[in-house]
Amino acid sequence: MNIAKKFIFTLFATTMAFSAWAVSLDDAKQQGLIGEMKNGYLGVVVNSTETQSLVNHINEKRKNIYLNLARKNEITMEQVMALAGEKAIIKTQSGHFIQNSAGQWVKK
């Protein structure tokens, strides 16, 4: 339980690492171009070079954060990804896209 609380706090704190992309990320989500996946990563809803580049860049940052969290909390990468995905989907605004368990993009 204590590890989960530390993890969530650390995950929340590290979201500031994405601030440089915040406007572009928010715009892309608002326009329905990208969405959150259950594995803790972003996915492309509407494919374009810019959208794919943004998703790749942010997912690379997320991966590095997840690896560090897994090492620090002595849990698996899969556990970190599951917790991050759950939190990201909960935080996703109504009207933005999330990927359902069947792999389809749906509006929250």
Range of the domain at 78: 2-14+34-107
- Asked if the structure places residue 86 within a domain, the reply is yes
- Asked if the structure places residue 52 within a domain, the reply is yes
Distance of CA 14 to the CA centre of its chain: 11
- Asked if the structure places residue 59 within a domain, the reply is yes
Cα distance between the two ends of the chain: 28
- Asked if the structure places residue 45 within a domain, the reply is yes
- Asked if the structure places residue 22 within a domain, the reply is no
**Confidence check: pLDDT of 16 > 50:** no
pLDDT at residue 24, as a whole number: 83
In angstroms, how far apart are the furthest CA atoms of the chain? 41
Phi, psi angle pair for 14, to nearest 5°: -80, -10
Provide the domain count of the chain: 1
- Asked if the structure places residue 100 within a domain, the reply is yes
- Asked if the structure places residue 28 within a domain, the reply is no
Q: Give the mean model confidence (pLDDT) for residues 48-73.
A: 94
- Asked if the structure places residue 87 within a domain, the reply is yes
pLDDT (tens digit, 9 = 90+) per residue, 19-42?
445 458 889 999 999 999 999 999
